[in-house]
């Protein structure tokens, strides 16, 4: 009986060690999957922010510095030195800041015949992407 009890204890000890090993491995895998998801979301936000900022820079460069002539800014809110465009969680432009998740702010400054546009895309005061576009005004 003593040998049989010893074998049972050994088997239970081995089983506990195997369960512990798989629990730790599962926790590590879950942590890796969570980090991968967060990185994917961050990368998607940065990519979309870059695309919107790039589109705004193209508008500034192709409108001779007068961005009000384009349809692109019809949904924008005019501010002191520029415009703000608000987006929902799926990057659809909105008419106002209510329910907006992302914000693109375009601030203009002039230095002689050079128009600069500082474009900042942010989410809850966290800057996602920043771009500066410049264009010389035609005389």
Cα 31 to Cα 48: distance, rounded to the nearest angstrom: 26
CA atoms within 13 A on the CB side of 116: 8
pTM: 0.76
At 51, list the tokens: 């695309």
Phi-psi region of 23 (alpha: psi -120 to 50; beta: other; left: phi over 0): alpha
Contact status, residue 104 vs residue 56, Cβ threshold 8 Å: yes
How confident is the model over 54-111, as pLDDT tens digits? Answer: 988 888 888 765 655 655 666 778 878 788 889 999 988 888 888 899 999 988 888 8
How confident is the model over 6-40, as pLDDT tens digits? Answer: 788 889 999 999 999 999 999 999 999 999 999 99
pLDDT of the residue at 63: 76
């Amino acid at each position: 009986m003593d040998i049989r009890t010893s074998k049972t204890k050994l088997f239970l000890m081995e089983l506990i060690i195997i369960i512990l090993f798989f629990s730790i491995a599962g926790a590590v895998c879950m942590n890796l999957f969570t980090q991968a998801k967060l990185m994917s979301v961050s990368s998607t936000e940065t990519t979309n922010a870059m695309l919107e900022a790039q589109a705004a820079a193209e508008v500034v460069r192709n409108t001779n510095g007068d961005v009000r002539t384009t349809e692109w800014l019809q949904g924008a809110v005019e501010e002191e030195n520029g415009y703000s465009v608000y987006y929902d969680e799926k990057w659809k432009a909105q008419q106002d800041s209510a329910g907006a998740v992302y914000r693109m702010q375009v601030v203009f400054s002039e230095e002689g015949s050079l128009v600069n546009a500082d474009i900042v895309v942010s989410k809850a005061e966290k800057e996602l992407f920043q771009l500066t576009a410049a264009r010389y005004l035609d005389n």
